[in-house]
Each structure stands twice: as C-alpha cells, then as structure tokens.
Amino acid sequence: MDIHALYQKPRLSEPHPAHKVYPYLLRGLKITRANHVWVADICYLPMARGFCYLVAIVDWASRRVLAWRLSNTLDPSFCTDALEEALRRYGTPGIFNTDQGSQFTSEAFTGILTTHGIRISMDGKGRWMDNVFIERLWKSVKYEEVYLKAYITLDEARCGLGAYFDFYNQRRRHQGLDNRIPDEVYWSSRPMMHAAA
C-alpha cells in the first residue's frame, strides 16, 4: 500500500559539492594501539520536544570517547570544537576517519587535521560499515541513555550525556575488547610519544 509515516528525517552526511573528499585508508589496516586511528560521526538525537545533534570523537582501538559536543544546528563549529578538545587532551592520531558529511569535509575541520599532520580518511558513500564502531556507540547511547530520558533542554542532555560517557569510558565492559573497559585499553596501549602535555 506504500504507507509511510511523515516526519522530519535527518540527513547528516550530505557532502558539500565544493569540498574535497579523501580516500578511505583503513581497509586491511591492523589497528591495535591507541591514537593510531580516531573516528568521528554525527548522530541525530530526539528530545521530548525537538531534536539535537551529537558529535563524538572515538579512539578506534580502545572505543574510548575522547571528546563530544551537542548542537541544535549542523554548523561545523561544534565538530571543530570537539576535535580541538581531543587534540589538546590526547595528542594526535596517525589517521582520522569520518564520513563525507559537509561538517567533516569543511576547510575548518580538515584544516585542523592537516595542520597537525594527521592523515585524513573518509568512508565510501553509503558505507556505514566503514565506521562501524561509532555506529555501535550511537546504538548504545540511544538505547542505554537517550530513549530512557527524553531530555527537555540541551543543558539537561549535556548533563545526562556527560554522565553516560563517563560510565561508557570508565565502567562499561566491551565484548570486542575481551571484556575490558575503554579507559583500560586506551591508557595501556597509548604510545608515550603521543602523550598530551
């Protein structure tokens, strides 16, 4: 019968036609240590009234959430703020992987990466599996936190997500990490040469 619900559908990974798209560098790459590869993505979060956007930067090897930001718009500034915080607190990764969304292909975002000598990798168009660990994070965030709370304000969402990411990094065990927590894996496999000041 072709019956569909009518609602606003998020389109978070729309490329900008004037922005450069980089090749995917992670195919066949063995990632076993912290700060080798970082990944980032944007997630659409429903609230009690309306919605907001969440960006997170995650260390691939440890699944540790290094930085995150909320916004009620898709302006690239909340992504660059999260990136600058992660670099300031944790040093620099060898490779940074994102999708082809305009926030990540913007000169503001890629300029920070190239200034720090970080190689840029981007998922293929429509290839969510290229960034599967952050997609799993979004499922956990939504089902273990967001859907249970139905935040009313951005401040309430920031507070709730801050507590959740502390739990996720410091206490949530991951089967894919041999039942260890992200903090343990990150700090035990982090090269000393990348230590933040």
Q: Is the pLDDT of residue 12 over 90?
A: no
Residue at 136 is within a domain: yes
Is residue 15 in a domain? no
Overall domain count for the chain? 1
| CB 168, CB 182: distance < 8 Å | yes
Query: What's the 3-state SS for the chain?
Result: CCCCCCCCCCCCCCCCCCCCCCCCCCCCCCCCCCCCEEEEEEEEEECCCCEEEEEEEEECCCCCEEEEEEECCCCCHHHHHHHHHHHHHHCCCCEEEECCCHHHHCHHHHHHHHHCCCEEEECCCCCHHHHHHHHHHHHHHHHHHHHHHCCCCHHHHHHHHHHHHHHHHHCCCEHHHCCECHHHHHHHHCCHHHCCC
In a domain, residue 55? The reply is: yes
Write down the pTM of the prediction.
Answer: 0.85
Q: Tokens 């729309």 appear where?
A: 14
pLDDT tens for 48-99 read 888 999 999 999 999 999 999 999 999 999 999 999 999 999 999 999 999 8
In a domain, 71, yes or no: yes
Q: How far apart are alpha carbons 93 and 113 in whole angstroms?
A: 10
Residue 127: φ, ψ to 5°: -105, 70
In-domain check, residue 176: yes
Q: Rounded CA gap, 62 and 174, in Å?
A: 10
Antiparallel, parallel or unpaired: β 119-122 and 95-98:
parallel
The per-residue pLDDT for range 121-176, each reduced to its tens digit, is 998 665 555 567 788 899 999 999 999 988 999 999 999 999 999 999 999 998 88
Residue 44: inside a domain, yes or no?
A: yes
Pairwise CA distance, residues 74 & 52, whole Å: 9
Q: Residue 113: which CATH number?
A: 3.30.420.10
* Residue 105 binned pLDDT confidence (cut-offs 50, 70, 90): very high
**Residue 7, in any domain of the structure:** no
Lowest mean pLDDT among 14-23, 25-34, 91-100, 104-113: 14-23
Asked, for residue 196, whether it belongs to a domain, the answer is: no
Beta-ladder partners of 71? 53
Domain that holds residue 113: 37-189
Query: For residue 24, with 0-12 CB atoms within 10 Å meaning exposed, 13-18 middle and 19 or more buried, which class applies?
Result: middle
